[in-house]
Amino acid sequence: MLMHSITWSSLKAWGVKLMKTKGRPRAIVAVARKIAAVLNRMRAGGTEFRLGSEAAA
């Protein structure tokens, strides 16, 4: 996500900011944990992933 993703997202911005302060290995683990938490919540709630502002609505 941090290295290979070309498109910019809020998650990538958060990870890059974290990388500058805490280092690359910690930022990679933090982003992976955040993605895992979102996926776990989606599985538990039975929801589908929706990209963009409509997901917040």
What is the helix (H) or strand (E) element at residue 10, kind and residue range? helix 10-22
More confident residue, 33 or 45: 33
What is the average pLDDT across 8-32?
A: 92
Could you tell me the pLDDT band of residue 29, with boundaries at 50, 70 and 90?
Answer: very high
pLDDT (tens digit, 9 = 90+) per residue, 36-47? 998 898 888 887
- Separation in Å, CA 26 to CA 7, 50, 54, 57: 21, 27, 31, 31
Could you tell me the pLDDT band of residue 52, with boundaries at 50, 70 and 90?
Answer: low
pLDDT of residue 55: 46
* Residue 30: pLDDT over 70: yes
